[in-house]
Amino acid sequence: MSAVNFELIASNDTRHLTLENMVVHLKWSANVDLDLMAFYETKNGVVGAVYSNHYHNGDMGALDRFPFMQLSPDAGFKNGQRQDKVEEIKIAKFDDIKYLYLVAVNFSSAANNQEQKFSSYDAMIEISSHHKDAGQKTSNFKLLLDSSAPGNVALFAKIENTNTLMGAMLRNLNEVLTFQEFQKRIPGSQSLNLKSKVILREKGQKAMVANVDSKVQATLSWKTKVDFDLHCFYRTKKVENAGFFTRLFSNTEAQEGHIYFRNKGDLADFPHIQLDKDSGIGDKGGDNQENIFFGQLSCVDRLLIAVNTFNKPNSCFANYDAKVTLHLGHQEIIVPLTEKTPGAWCVIAELINDKDGVYLVNINQTQKDEPSLA
C-alpha cells in the first residue's frame, strides 16, 4: 500500500474539501500534553463541541448520532500519563454543520494561565476525506502550526459549509490564542472547563498528582441505600535535618494514624487531615457524600483510602455504584468501587509519596478485617 501524500497548505490559504468520511489527526513531537478538540455551529445556530471526557463535561461524540463526529481516547493515556502524540477525530456526516473549528489546547499551560509558543512543539494537523464512491478524488491536506505567538490554545483551521454550489472550504488559520481570547471568539468554547479528570478503572492503574501544594479533598459518593463509612489510614514522613526548636516542639519521627467518624482529625493540627461527617446513616439512599480534607499532603508518606459497610460484613462493593474522587485544584482523579469479592472492608486507593513523585493507585481490594499500612 502506497504512502499517502498530503498537500501542505500555507497560512490563510483555503482549499475545497470533501465532507465525507473525514479523518483529522493532530500530531506533535515535543514532550507536551496537547488535546485535539472540535467546536461547531450548526446551520440552525446550535453550538457545541467534541473534546476529551478527561475534562469536566467533556463529550467525545459518536459517529451514529449528532454531531456525527468522534474523538479518539486521549493519546495513549495509560496509568495517568501520556504515551504517544497522535489524536484523531472521525467525522461521518457534515450535513448540519455550518462552521467547524479545529483546536489544540495545551492543558498544562492553560490551566496554570501560562502562555507557551506552539511553534516549538512541531505540531501539525492532517485532514483526509473521500467520497464513498472509490472513483472520486481523495483530499489529503497538511497544516503546520508554526506561529511564534505565545498562548495556550492553537486555532489550526476552520471548515465553512455555507455554499451548496461551491462546497465546503478549509482555511488554515494558524493562530495561537490565550484561553480568554479563545472563549470570546469560538462558538461552543464556553463549555470547556479547564479542570482535568482522570478515571482509574482498572486495579493497579495510577495517576500522578500534579500539585501537592493545592487544596486536596477525597470524596466518597454513592446513591444506593447503604451506610458507608470513609476511612483514611496514614503514615507521615520522618522530618530529616530538623532544627532544635522543631525537635523540641514537634514529633519528627514518622507517625501512623487512622481518620474516621470517631476520630475526625483536625486540619489545623498535624498531620492536617480531617473528615467532615458521617453520611448514609440507617442505609439512607440519595446523594450521599463523605469528605476527607488534606492540608499538607507533602508530609504524607503513604495513605490508604478505604470504606467499611456498617453491619454488612459480606458486602459486594461493586453493587453500590460508589466512587472516590480526589480533588486537587485543576485535577480530579476518580476511582470507582468495582471489587466483586464480598467483604466488610474495601481498600479503594493508595496514595504514595516517594522519589518518583506523588501518585494515586487503584487498589479495589476487599478484606474481612480492618486494613493496615503494614
Sheet holding 331-336, edge to edge: 55-56, 193-199, 331-336, 323-328, 216-222, 288-294, 273-275, 265-266
d(CA 190, CA 207): 27
The per-residue pLDDT for 345 is: 95
pLDDT tens-digit profile of 83-94? 457 899 999 989
The structural domains of the chain, with segments of one domain joined by +, span 7-195, 206-367
In the chain, the amino acid numbered 322 is A
The per-residue pLDDT for 252 is: 61
The pTM assigned to this predicted structure is: 0.64
Residue 137 banded pLDDT, cuts 50, 70, 90:
low
The per-residue pLDDT for 271 is: 83
The per-residue pLDDT for 196 is: 74
Q: How many CB atoms lie within 10 A of CB 154?
A: 29
| Paired strand residues for 141 | 7, 127
3-state secondary structure of 249: helix
3-state secondary structure of 190: helix
User: Strands 7-8 and 139-144, how do they pair?
Assistant: parallel
Residue 58 banded pLDDT, cuts 50, 70, 90:
confident
The per-residue pLDDT for 110 is: 78
C-alpha R_g of the chain: 25
DSSP string of 108-144, one letter each residue: HHHHTT--EEGGGGT-EEEEEE--SSTTSPPEEEEEE
The per-residue pLDDT for 329 is: 73
pLDDT tens-digit profile of 183-198? 999 999 999 887 777 8
Is the pLDDT reported for residue 160 higher than 80? yes
The per-residue pLDDT for 112 is: 67
Residue 340 banded pLDDT, cuts 50, 70, 90:
very high
Q: Tell whether omega for the bond before 67 is within 30 degrees of 0, i.e. cis.
A: yes
The per-residue pLDDT for 208 is: 81
The per-residue pLDDT for 18 is: 79
Please give the mean pLDDT across all residues of the chain.
85
More confident site: 237 or 44: 44
Alpha helices in the chain (DSSP H): 107-111, 179-185, 244-249
Integer angstrom CA distances of residue 26 from 70, 195, 343? 14, 21, 46
**Same fold yes or no, 7-195 and 206-367:** yes
Residue 280 banded pLDDT, cuts 50, 70, 90:
confident
Four-residue CA torsion sign, 274, 277, 281, 286: negative
Residue 131 banded pLDDT, cuts 50, 70, 90:
low
d(CA 8, CA 11): 10
Please give the CATH number for the structural domain made up of 7-195.
Answer: 2.60.60.30
pLDDT tens-digit profile of 343-355? 999 999 999 988 8
pLDDT tens-digit profile of 111-128? 767 788 888 888 999 999
Q: Among all chains, which residue has been given the C-alpha cell 453550538?
A: 47
DSSP string of 268-328, one letter each residue: TSTT-EEE----STTT--SSEEEEEEES-GGGEEEEEEEEEETT-TTB-GGGG--EEEEEE
The CATH class, in words, for 206-367 is mainly beta
Residue 133 banded pLDDT, cuts 50, 70, 90:
low
The per-residue pLDDT for 30 is: 84
d(CA 340, CA 334): 18
3-state secondary structure of 211: coil
Is the pLDDT reported for residue 312 higher than 50? yes
Q: Do residues 302 and 242 lie in contact, with contact meaning Cβ atoms separated by under 8 Å?
A: no
d(CA 8, CA 175): 16
Percentage of the chain beyond pLDDT 70 is 89
Q: Do residues 227 and 281 lie in contact, with contact meaning Cβ atoms separated by under 8 Å?
A: yes
Q: Is 97 exposed, middle or buried (0-12, 13-18, 19+ CB in 10 A)?
A: buried
Grid cell in block for residue 361: 493507585
In the chain, the amino acid numbered 334 is I
The backbone torsions φ and ψ at residue 85, rounded to the nearest 5 degrees and listed phi first, read -135, 55
Q: How many CB atoms lie within 10 A of CB 11?
A: 14
pLDDT tens-digit profile of 294-304? 987 778 899 99
The backbone torsions φ and ψ at residue 109, rounded to the nearest 5 degrees and listed phi first, read -70, -35
Is the pLDDT reported for residue 162 higher than 70? yes
Is the pLDDT reported for residue 248 higher than 50? no
The per-residue pLDDT for 79 is: 40
Residue 130 banded pLDDT, cuts 50, 70, 90:
confident
